[in-house]
Structure 1
Amino acid sequence: MRVLVIGRTGQIATELLPRLAAAGHAAEALEPPGFDMTDPAQVAAAFDRFRPETVVNCAAYTAVDKAEDDRALAFAVNATGPRLLGEAAARAGVPVLHYSTDYVFDGTKDTPYTEADPPDPVGAYGASKLAGELLLHNAQPRSVTLRTAWVCSPHGGNFVKTMLRFGKERPELRVVADQHGAPTFAADLAEAAVTLLPRLVAAPAGDPVFGITHLTGTPWTTWHGFAEAIFAGAARRGQAAPKVTAITTADYPTKARRPANSRLDCTRAATVLGIPPKDWREGLERCLDALMKESTP
């Protein structure tokens, strides 16, 4: 199967590409500066050259705070890009797998969000990602959007790597304890994609596999709880752990508002897609093993 992957060095793409190869698929991965997903001509040329059987969009503008001042770029990458991919995919008759975010919700609900809950983003990042969902599915109904949250891996910038770095520099870390969600490891999202893609290629329009589906890790925790788990794992591997002090969101103001509730109900992923959420604690162990191996002289 020929898979066009948008993004090459991000967390999900880095985990996805070797898994596609191992499964016997031919993947073409494109990203700036050699490829601009917001340029219709470049998108069309990529489809003409590679002739994919399916597309996975791993690219996104994810600088949540910077998006408040750079809305144009956030919307170009997160909304215009998916629209152009959807239009090209529809012309080629191929499905799209796309990743989105818990930030499409305002985070005020008391229970986990389902796919039926109306989105209500409160910042530019979430608004741009919501626009991308809508534009993609309008252009190519044979698309799947996986909404996820708190993505981590041994690659790129993420909470695990930030905590480990700060933990070596500071005796105490103050971490927010009133934002709830579930860490999700990029490796699990990549494995979900490899599982899904053959089904997407074979599925006709209207198949229930298409649409928006929530997929995060399990169980739920807080950023503070996640930090404590990171340092407990690091301590088991011989790294000194700092004191982790719980604080509130109000104690750590940011330019863009973060959802207090990022819990996503993943029932549809398990029942319709056949992909139950993975335990993030197992993903954390694998991530720490990889990071500690890299740091060993």
Structure 2
Amino acid sequence: MRLAVTGREGQVAASLLEAGREDVKVIAIGRPQLDLARRGTVIEAITAAKPDIVVSAAAYTAVDQAEDEPELAFAVNAAGAGEVAQAAARLGVPVIHLSTDYVFDGTKDGPYLETDATAPIGVYGASKLAGEQAVASANSRHLILRTAWVYSPFGKNFAKTMLRLASDRDEIPVVADQWGNPTSALDIADAILHAAARLHRNEDFAAWGIYHLAGTGETNWSGFARHILDISGGLGGPSARVRDIAATDYPTKARRPVNSRLSSAKFASVFGWSAPVLQKSAREVVRRLLSR
């Protein structure tokens, strides 16, 4: 099976490249050959990869900067994502598109289901929701996977930031009134490979649509920071005290959902895959970050 993934340096793309198996060839396509902000580059680049399945992972992810660059955010996350799905449709293959918890406003009391109403509160979330709609419109054979709080040994992410800050600080203030499911990109890659294998061997698969794919275990940002630093300290790495603060004490240009919890029960039911518990996934990422 040939799996073409958009983006080369993103956390999920890097995790997929690493997780490729003997029977799965992962081809990462990125700039300049494929630039989601430049119409016309997408179809040619994806066609050249000759994929059996396309993974739409590349995105504009600068949440705060998106407030100042809405045109670029929508060009990449909406129009670009739609073009990726269209390219897959022209080749007669499915597309697996990654989306986000930011399509919700965070006011629900409990984990979000796929059937809950969307209501993004910022440009980034609105652009990703428009991308979901563009993907669904362009290719009927689509899986849209909403995930949240992604961390990994690759790229920029919260786990890396906490370890870096702990290396020269005794105390780190971290927001304690936003909740979600930290999700390892290593686990996302494993889930995508699991789902892709199912799609590849089952031509009659019909359960297309939106799924939530998040880590097992909910916490707030300060709790997640404590998990990371406790694991690091136990492995001989940097550690520090975590001080709870309110989101209002750490103002950002873009508002964040107070509740980003996602129920992944539908994905588990259809594909028979669930993420490991938070402590196990976090330990693997922290171990690898420290080994560097």
Fold shared per TM-score above 0.5: yes
Task: Assess if the C-alpha contact under 8 Å between 2:237 and 2:290 holds in 1.
Answer: no
TM (norm. structure 1) is: 0.94
* Counterpart-to-counterpart distance in 2, 1:233 and 1:289: 8
Pick from 275, 287, 292 the counterpart of residue 289 of structure 1: 287
Give the superposed CA RMSD. Answer: 1.5
Residues 179-210 of structure 1 show CA distances to partners (whole Å, capped at 9, x for unaligned) of 011110000000011111122234557711x1
* Counterpart-to-counterpart distance in 1, 2:100 and 2:189: 16
Residues 119-167 of structure 1 show CA distances to partners (whole Å, capped at 9, x for unaligned) of 1000000000000001001110101011000000011100000011111
- Within a 5 Å distance, the mapping from 1:150-169 to structure 2 comes to 150-169=149-168
State the partner residue of 1:142: 141
> Runs of 5+ in structure 1 lacking a partner?
none
| Number of residues of Structure 1 aligned to a counterpart in Structure 2 | 292
State the partner residue of 1:74: 73
Deviation at 1:45, TM superposition (A): 1.4
State the partner residue of 2:242: 244
Task: Assess if the C-alpha contact under 8 Å between 2:47 and 2:87 holds in 1.
Answer: no
Residues 91-130 of structure 1 show CA distances to partners (whole Å, capped at 9, x for unaligned) of 2110001111000000011111000001100000000000
Deviation at 1:37, TM superposition (A): 2.7
Deviation at 1:12, TM superposition (A): 0.7
Q: Give the SS at the match of 2:59.
A: coil
Off by >6 Å, runs of 4+ in structure 1: none
TM (norm. structure 2) is: 0.96
State the partner residue of 1:14: 14
Q: Which amino acid aligns with 1:225?
A: G
Task: Assess if the C-alpha contact under 8 Å between 2:163 and 2:238 holds in 1.
Answer: no
Q: Which amino acid aligns with 1:159?
A: F
Q: Are 1:3 and 2:3 an aligned pair?
A: yes
* Counterpart-to-counterpart distance in 1, 2:288 and 2:11: 14
Deviation at 1:44, TM superposition (A): 2.1
* Counterpart-to-counterpart distance in 1, 2:18 and 2:240: 35
Task: Assess if the C-alpha contact under 8 Å between 1:94 and 1:201 holds in 2.
Answer: no
**Structure 1 stretch 22-31 or stretch 266-275: which is displaced more?**
22-31
Question: How high is the sequence identity, in percent, across the aligned residues?
Answer: 47
Q: Which amino acid aligns with 1:84?
A: E
Task: Assess if the C-alpha contact under 8 Å between 1:182 and 1:221 holds in 2.
Answer: yes
> Runs of 5+ in structure 2 lacking a partner?
none
